[in-house]
């Protein structure tokens, strides 16, 4: 079995390292941030992922996983190194390569000291725009190591498609694996590793060259984000068309296997640490090549507008928002996480504050992170019911299970004016509209014609 090392223990690095260790591989994983490394070593992941703590604890106990802050040690004690550091956005939308360049230099420096019979395999898992691995990282490794790529060491691009909250399951059961090799030998070695890792559960493996592999990652995320922006666009048309409901439309078109039912939930738009960063990077990358990707720009704009439309809905119901009590239910960019990076909630709150609304917010997990941004500019409730007290309007921003359990009476009893804007379509419109003013994304006003529900 190959010995593996990981450089960078964010969500992708740690989850993948732990999954390999859980299947018996000897893994040595390096994290520069010593406090974070210590925390992981003690079996405490620095972020929440279902099953991660359990698998991490087991992997540490069996000794299959070792954590270090010494990149060289990790690289020298392995024969395949995965680079899994972050590539955050820069101001102009392009990605910052500083971490991935540093990691490549570290790999090169370590490889200089390594004289194995079989060439070391370097795998770039970090999300990077096409050309980065071959044109920037490969020369860095070659210079630092004094060795030649495809001869003395191998190089692959192997992007990941993990969703937050689904990272372990996604690593163990991916839809597909992409391998871009600098040559056939590099690709073969990585393919054999995955064949062994997945054994009877082998997903389709797409083999290609490095830049195509890099672009697949962006295409995947851009497609999904565009799909959500598309259904949100249909939702907006529904709102202007009496009697129509985007949920039925999504249910219907999702039956067409060419479309499929996933990522067709209309709402206040997409956020998180990936879609926004990757779309910005893809747009900036294309523009630098002299091509403006209008479709992806439109998906971006549609997403930015979606939050503004929610504010318009509130204004339509309440008139000017100055002095009105608005409760915001849900702050995380999606349920089951405390992550508020690029969350729609923060955009919404910023606009509401500008309009002078008094905001009370509640989220089962993401309140501490939100407090760091808005501090005392808004109020924080410790339950959904407390959040609704005396509100003139409530907006559902994240579709937490906890909110789905609320009934119309929870709103009518606690709010000053029971106006509910369901930004994630979590309630039964028939039931709720009878008891309170229920305005929902993608739901047209009732039609005058009598029709089956
Ligand atoms: C996304 C991709 O789904 C992963 O495949 C990819 O690996 C990851 O980015 C990444 O690049 O690392 P993630 O950011 O965890 O994963 O979140 P998603 O579950 O994809 O949701 C993204 C956003 O779209 C959320 O704000 C969610 O609320 C929104 N969304 C999603 C909708 O509004 N409607 C939908 O039907 C689906």
Digit-by-digit pLDDT tens for the chain (453 residues) are 899 999 999 999 999 999 999 999 999 999 999 999 999 999 999 988 999 999 999 999 999 999 999 999 999 999 999 999 999 999 999 999 999 999 999 999 999 999 867 899 999 999 999 999 999 999 999 999 999 999 999 999 999 999 999 999 999 999 999 999 999 999 999 999 999 999 999 999 999 999 999 999 999 999 999 999 999 999 999 999 999 999 999 999 999 999 999 999 999 999 999 999 999 999 999 999 999 999 999 999 999 999 999 999 999 999 999 999 999 999 999 999 999 999 999 999 999 999 999 999 999 999 999 999 999 999 999 999 999 999 999 999 999 999 999 999 999 999 998 999 999 999 999 999 999 999 999 999 987 755 565
pTM (2 d.p.): 0.95
Percent of the chain with pLDDT over 90: 95
| Contacts for 356 with CB less than 8 Å, ≥ 6 apart | 320, 321, 322, 323
- Token look-up 């690029």 returns 342
For residue 180, the CA-to-ligand 1 centroid distance in Å is: 24
The pLDDT assigned to 453 comes to 55
Residue of 414, 413, 406 whose CA lies nearest to 422: 406
How far is the C-alpha of 121 from the C-alpha of 150, rounded, in Å?
Answer: 9
Reduced 3-state DSSP string for 208-277: ECHHHHHHHHHHHHHHHHHHHHHHHHHHHHHHCCCCCEHHHHHHHHCCCCCCCCCCCCCCCCCCCCCHHH
Whether 421 contacts 393, CB under 8 Å: yes
The crossing angle, in degrees rounded to 10, of helices 210-239 and 246-253 is 140
| Contacts for 34 with CB less than 8 Å, ≥ 6 apart | 69
Residue of 168, 191, 169 whose CA lies nearest to 179: 191
Q: Is the CB of 275 under 6 A from ligand 1?
A: yes
Q: Is the CB of 228 under 6 A from ligand 1?
A: yes
The pLDDT assigned to 449 comes to 58
Q: Is the CB of 222 under 6 A from ligand 1?
A: no
Give me the residues paired with residue 181 across strands: 156
pLDDT tens-digit profile of 162-180? 999 999 999 999 999 999 9
Residue 370 CB neighbours (<10 A): 23
Give me the residues paired with residue 394 across strands: 327, 420
In this structure, the residue with its CA closest to atom 5 of ligand 1 is 161
Put residue 439 in one of left, alpha, beta given phi > 0 → left and psi -120 to 50 → alpha: beta
């Amino acid at each position: 079995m190959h010995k593996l090392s990981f450089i960078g223990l964010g969500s992708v690095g740690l989850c993948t390292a732990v999954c390999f260790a859980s299947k018996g591989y000897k893994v040595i994983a390096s994290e520069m941030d010593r406090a974070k490394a210590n925390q992981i070593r003690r079996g405490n992941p620095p972020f929440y992922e279902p099953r991660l703590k359990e698998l991490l604890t087991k992997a540490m106990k069996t000794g299959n996983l070792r954590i270090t802050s010494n990149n060289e040690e990790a690289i020298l004690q392995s024969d395949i190194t995965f680079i899994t550091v972050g590539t955050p956005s820069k101001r102009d939308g392009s990605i910052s390569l500083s971490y991935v360049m540093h990691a490549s230099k570290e790999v090169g420096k370590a490889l200089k000291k390594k004289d194995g019979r079989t060439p070391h395999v370097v795998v770039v898992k970090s999300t990077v725009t096409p050309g980065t691995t071959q044109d920037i990282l490969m020369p860095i490794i070659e210079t630092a190591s004094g060795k030649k790529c495809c001869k003395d060491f191998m190089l692959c691009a192997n992007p990941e498609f993990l969703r937050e909250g689904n990272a372990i399951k996604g690593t163990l059961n991916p839809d597909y694996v992409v391998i871009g090799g600098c040559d056939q030998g590099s690709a073969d070695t990585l393919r054999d590793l995955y064949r062994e890792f997945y054994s009877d559960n082998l997903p389709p493996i797409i083999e290609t060259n490095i830049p195509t592999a890099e672009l697949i990652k962006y295409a995947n995320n851009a497609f999904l984000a565009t799909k959500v922006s598309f259904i949100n666009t249909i939702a907006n048309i529904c709102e202007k068309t009496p009697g129509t409901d985007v949920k039925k439309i999504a249910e219907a078109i999702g039956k067409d296997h060419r479309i499929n039912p996933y990522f067709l939930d209309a709402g206040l738009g997409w956020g998180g640490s990936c879609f926004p960063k990757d779309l910005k990077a893809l747009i900036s990358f294309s523009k630098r090549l002299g091509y403006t990707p209008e479709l992806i720009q439109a998906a971006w704009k549609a997403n930015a507008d979606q939050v503004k439309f929610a504010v318009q809905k509130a204004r339509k119901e309440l008139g000017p928002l100055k002095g009105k009590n608005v409760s915001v239910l849900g702050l995380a960019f999606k349920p089951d996480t405390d992550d508020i990076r690029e969350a729609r909630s923060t955009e919404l709150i910023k606009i509401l504050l500008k309009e002078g609304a008094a905001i009370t917010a509640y989220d089962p997990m993401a309140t501490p992170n939100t407090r760091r941004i808005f501090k005392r500019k808004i109020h924080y409730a410790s339950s959904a019911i407390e959040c609704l007290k005396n509100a003139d309007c409530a907006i559902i921003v994240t579709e937490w299970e906890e909110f789905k359990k609320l009934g119309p009476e929870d709103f009518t009893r606690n709010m000053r004016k029971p106006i509910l804007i369901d930004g994630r379509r979590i309630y039964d419109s028939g039931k709720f509209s009878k008891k309170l003013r229920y305005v929902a994304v993608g739901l047209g006003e009732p039609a005058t014609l009598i029709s089956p529900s």
